[in-house]
């Protein structure tokens, strides 16, 4: 039988994502409501190792639900990858009596949580906080919706300039080795083509399509490229197109970290709040070492080791729809 959890820690790890603060707020207030002591851990696993841990109350999370970033800061910890680093982290938790953890982050954060839990028998719950949406077991990740909306807003503005000058714009969006931001933003902005890591990029097909549209005097074109595309992202694709299509006015725009920032969307605030609440409920009910996700608008729980081994499913329908609607 699982031991009763009385004191929990919450941390954010890896890349920041809009909505992390909403998740922190939900964890803290749900924990306090259920009679738990809640501790904030600064800068992810680094804070556990360096004992940068503080007690949190309801006021600690006042007026943060609308803020981007994370009040707990975030980092990637090389020291936590070593056994000595994890031992330091455990000692700092033990002296405070912290017997449960909520880890808000991506696959790397979950790998660390899984290993830590196995070594020291501290139950961990993962919340998928990543703009990349590259974690299996959930339809949504905290931050994805905001990042896509940011990308769409930027691409819409780029389209205005493309239209004014009859230009082809190659726009690179974030997503690491996943193409979901590119897929969603490309479809939403009427892109001619979307290049993603999940499929092989056929440069000849891309050039053929753009050439055909040029003959039809369709002079406003957008190509959205995921940063992890096999051809090397927007810069490399842009160079290839400039070389092969010298008569076209081609420009390259890399959106970059603007996609990480800003106030979280309504959807991100809601899913973060729901996930944070259910993270604490999971610890209280003895459901440990799982990631809390949402599938078909219902809470879904998947073992942490499964969440990091599998990737979010991808269907080819997306690219077919984009091709047809851009014709």
* pLDDT tens string 1-18: 457 899 999 999 999 999
Residue ranges of the binding site for ADP? 25-29, 159, 190-192, 216, 218-220
Question: What is the number of domains present in the chain?
Answer: 2
Judge whether 149 lies within some domain: yes
pLDDT score for 1: 41
Q: Is residue 51 a part of any domain in this protein?
A: yes
Same domain, 272 and 139: yes
How far is residue 303's CA from residue 321's CA, in Å, rounded to a whole number? 33
Does 132 qualify as catalytic in the annotation? yes
For 106, phi then psi, to 5°, come to -110, -155
194 and 287 both lie in a single domain: no
Residue 71 sits in the same domain as residue 192: no
Last residue of a domain, one of 236, 260, 284: 260
This prediction has a pTM of: 0.93
Rounded CA-CA distance 38/227 in Å is 38
CATH number at residue 201: 3.40.50.460
Looking at residue 217, its pLDDT comes to 67
Q: Is the dihedral of CA 26, 32, 34, 40 positive or negative?
A: positive
d(CA 197, CA 15) in angstroms, rounded, equals 20
327 or 126: which leads in pLDDT: 126
In this predicted structure, the answer to whether residue 127 has a pLDDT above a threshold of 60 is yes
Q: List 290's β-bridge partners, or say none.
A: 125, 303
Contact 54, 40 (CB under 8 A): yes
197 is a domain residue: yes
- Domain final residue, candidates 238, 260, 282: 260
Statement: residue 187 has pLDDT above 60:
yes
Helix, strand, coil shares of the chain, percent, nearest 5, are 45, 20, 35
Residue 244, domain extent: 145-260
What per-residue confidence (pLDDT) applies to 241?
92
Same structural domain for residues 94 and 208? no
3-state secondary structure of 259: helix
Residue 93, domain CATH = 3.40.50.450
pLDDT digits 0-9 by tens, 220-274: 689 999 998 888 888 999 999 999 999 889 999 999 999 999 999 999 999 999 9
Give the pLDDT of residue 151. 97
> Mind listing the pLDDT tens digit for each residue in 79-114?
999 999 999 999 999 999 999 999 999 988 999 999
Q: Based on the fold, state whether residues 14 and 118 are members of the same structural domain.
A: yes
Based on the domain organization, do 161 and 91 belong to the same domain?
no
What is the chain's length? 327
Residue 237 covered by a domain: yes
Joined tokens for residue 241? 């197109």
Instruction: Please give the share of the chain, as a percent, with pLDDT higher than 70.
Output: 95
Exposure string for 165-200, b = 16+ CB within 10 A, e = fewer: eebbbbbbbbbbebbbbbbbbbbebebbbbbbbbee
**Binding site as annotated, residues for substrate:** 130-132, 167, 174-176, 227, 251, 257-260
98 and 21 share a domain? yes
- Given this model, what pLDDT does residue 307 score? 78
The verdict on 289 and 174 lying in the same domain is no
Q: What is the pLDDT of residue 212?
A: 80
Is residue 317 included in any domain, yes or no?
Answer: no
> Alpha-carbon distance 294 to 19, whole Å?
15
d(CA 237, CA 190): 19
Co-location of 231 and 275 in the same domain? no
Q: Are residues 118 and 34 in the same domain?
A: yes
Q: Could you tell me if 271 and 138 lie in one domain?
A: yes
Residues 131/181, Cβ–Cβ less than 8 Å: yes
Average pLDDT value for the chain: 92
Residues of the binding site for ATP: 15, 76-77, 106-109
Q: Is residue 169 part of a domain?
A: yes
Give the least confident one: 26-40, 90-104, 141-155, 218-232: 218-232
Tokens encoding 197: 């890591």
Going by the annotation, the residues of the binding site for Mg(2+) are: 107
Q: Is residue 2 part of a domain?
A: no
Active-site hit among 16, 132, 134, 145: 132
Beta bridge partners of 292: 301
- Give me the mean pLDDT over the 112-140 stretch: 94
Confidence band of 313 (pLDDT split at 50, 70, 90): low
Which among 201, 233, 260 is the end of a domain? 260
The answer to whether residues 115 and 155 belong to one domain is no
Domain membership of residue 175 (yes or no) is yes
DSSP string, 102-144: EEEE-HHHHHHHHHHHHHH---EEEEEB-TT---TT-S--BTH
């Amino acid at each position: 039988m699982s031991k009763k959890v009385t004191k929990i820690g919450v941390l954010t790890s890896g890349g920041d994502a809009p909505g992390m603060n909403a998740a922190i707020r939900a964890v803290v207030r749900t924990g306090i409501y259920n009679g738990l002591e809640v501790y904030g851990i600064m800068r992810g696993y680094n804070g556990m190792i360096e004992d940068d841990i503080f007690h949190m109350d309801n006021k600690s999370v006042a007026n943060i639900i609308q803020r981007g970033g994370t009040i707990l800061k975030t980092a990637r910890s090389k020291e936590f990858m070593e056994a000595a680093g994890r031992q330091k982290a455990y000692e700092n938790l033990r002296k405070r009596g912290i017997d449960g953890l909520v880890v808000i982050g991506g696959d790397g954060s979950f790998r660390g949580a899984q290993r830590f839990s196995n070594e020291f028998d501290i139950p961990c719950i993962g919340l998928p906080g990543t703009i990349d949406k590259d974690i299996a077991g959930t339809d949504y990740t905290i931050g994805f919706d905001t990042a896509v909306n940011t990308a769409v807003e930027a691409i819409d503005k780029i389209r205005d300039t493309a239209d004014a000058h009859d230009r082809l714009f190659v726009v690179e969006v974030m997503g690491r080795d996943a193409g979901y931001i590119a897929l969603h933003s490309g479809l939403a902005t009427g892109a001619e083509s979307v290049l993603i890591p999940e499929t092989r990029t056929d440069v000849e097909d891309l050039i053929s399509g753009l050439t055909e549209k040029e003959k039809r005097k369709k002079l406003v074109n957008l190509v959205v490229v995921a940063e992890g595309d096999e051809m090397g992202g927007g810069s490399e694709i842009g160079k290839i197109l400039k070389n092969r299509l010298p008569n076209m006015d081609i420009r390259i725009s890399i959106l970059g970290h603007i996609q990480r920032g800003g106030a979280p969307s309504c959807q991100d605030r809601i899913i973060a709040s729901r996930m944070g609440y259910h993270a604490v409920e999971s610890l209280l009910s003895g459901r440990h070492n799982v990631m809390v996700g949402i599938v078909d608008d219902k809470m879904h729980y998947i073992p942490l080791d499964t969440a990091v081994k599998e990737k979010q499913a991808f269907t080819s329908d997306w690219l077919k729809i984009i091709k047809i609607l851009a014709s």
